[in-house]
Chain A
Amino acid sequence: WSRPDAMEISKGVDWLTRYGYLPAPDPLTAQQQTLEGLIAAIKSMQRFAGLKETGTLDEDTIKMMQRPRCSLPDIIGTSEIMRRRRKR
């Protein structure tokens, strides 16, 4: 498979945020993700979807992200958990 282009990464981050694998954006900090954070989120998504955990936006992962699905997030309350962790 070829390397994902910038658009696929952009859409991938959007997808991962929407379904709870990345924390929701905070308008006051405008935080961006580190590469390690993004890889961990992709692996988490792959594990949940039953895909091979490559940590990259490979063809199977992008294809899975394009499948019709339920609107609700897979990971509930990520941002709340992250907030608590930050406090600790």
Chain B
Amino acid sequence: YSLSGTVWSKNLLTWRVNSFPHASPLTHQEIHDLMLKALNVWSKSSEISFQEASADADILIDFSRSHHEDGYPFDGIGGTLAHAFFPGEHPISGDTHFDDDEIWTKSLPESYGTDLFAVAVHEFGHALGLAHSSAEESIMRPYYQGPVGNPDQYKLPQDDVSAIEQLYGRRKRNPDQEKPALPVPTQPNIPYYPPQRPTYNRPRDQPDRCKAHFDAIANIRGEVFFFKKRYFWRLQPSRNLVSLNPAQIHQFWEGLPKDLDRVDAVYERTNDSKIVFFRGNNYWVFKDTKAEPGYPRSLSDFGLPPAGIDAAFVWRHNGKTYFFQGSRFWRFDEHTSRMDLGYPKEVNMWQGVPQDVDDIVSWNDGNTYFFKGTKYWKFTGGKVEADIGFPRSVARDWMYCDMTTEDLPTQWPKFRGESDCICARES
């Protein structure tokens, strides 16, 4: 087994189901009971115990979807299922999140959905201080292993019993209590850390991020993707660029035509976390990084004219999807799959921005950003008037271009944070 390195300094923890799935074959009562049983699995094997609380619980349980502001965005059905935060003093410590897009089931075969109890036992292991284990029999293996049977009869594997006992002490047993199942001895996991040997090899045909003029910009799972020609850059929620070098669209997004030279707009749908790409009169829907069959389809599906769009984004203020083209914009409701009445409207309703924007994103800070050329505008919260002090430089504020003037030629890389040497951050 493997431990996270943090542990609760108390043996009585409080818990609460803070939110339930939007649509689930399980009732709220069933979900509540499964959570209780999953917690009790751990308390049966150690001197930890749990008490349900009405507020301020140590372990707050939520069902969330997509980016939910904790650095671990969900990704629709499959992929990532859930996560929990290790013990600690931070308010989020112990909190446990399940992907609301999964079909959560109780003791059903894998083809029906994902067994909520099995995943909950695993996640509560994290909430108590266990890390992922490579032991074959451990519930703390990172990969979903299917249903674990009747929750009332489930017993932790020996590997996990040893781990929880080490953290909180062995449960004092009555002589008639059963011993844990599967007493298979395993060796402690000793992770191997690969050596790091950075290299710097910049192809010459890639676009210059410092010149901005992006084709499309999208918030996908809490990261901002900047698309330009056949390339894209990724900005993490921490505002770090994954790399100064762009990645090739066709090596990451699978299913776009090979001769597609650029995209017009991209956004993540609110209703199912799928990602939509636009180019001209065509659009593609992606499940994660793979295009779904049956695409491209025509923009007329949205009720949009065939000339293509400049921008698409979901306004966090109201959860609606907006499409921009030239001097007009439309508002779309993902849940009814219909364009709202009264649209298109004039772009000048968004005060302070020009027409023909490159793209728009709602960022994780709750604000909305309009991009055009080398400039961007910020709209705080639900405001439709750009903040004072904008537009500002995209290159400087988003692309890590350390420049005194935006007209600085690319041939002077050291002034753009692109010098050829490798420098550690601390030096």
Contacts and interface: CB of A to CB of B under 8 A. Distances in A.
Interface of A: 6-7, 9-11, 14, 19, 21-23, 25-34, 36-38, 40-41, 43-44, 47-50, 64, 67-76, 78, 81-83, 85-87
B103 to A, nearest CB: 11
Interface of B: 4-5, 72, 74, 78-84, 114, 119, 122-123, 126, 131-132, 134, 136, 142-144, 189, 191-201, 236, 240-245, 247-248, 250-252, 254, 289, 400, 417, 422-426
Contact of A29 (B84, B119, B236, B424): B424
Given A26-B240, A31-B196, A64-B143, 13 more contacts: A27-B243, A28-B417, A28-B425, A37-B194, A37-B196, A44-B191, A47-B134, A48-B189, A50-B136, A69-B81, A72-B83, A72-B84, A76-B4
A49 B194 CA distance: 16
A64 B143 CA distance: 8
B252 A48 contact: no
24 contacts: A7-B250, A25-B240, A25-B241, A25-B243, A26-B240, A27-B243, A29-B423, A29-B425, A31-B200, A32-B245, A33-B199, A34-B198, A36-B195, A40-B195, A41-B194, A48-B134, A48-B191, A67-B143, A69-B80, A70-B80, A70-B142, A72-B131, A74-B142, A86-B424
Q: In terms of DSSP, what is the predominant structure of the interface of chain B?
A: loop
Contacts of A40: 192, 194-195
Given A11-B252, A76-B131, A32 B241 contact: no
Given A6-B251, A10-B251, A64-B143, A75 B197 contact: no
A36 to B, nearest CB: 7
A76 B131 CA distance: 8
Contact of A72 (B142, B243, B424): B142
A78 B193 contact: yes
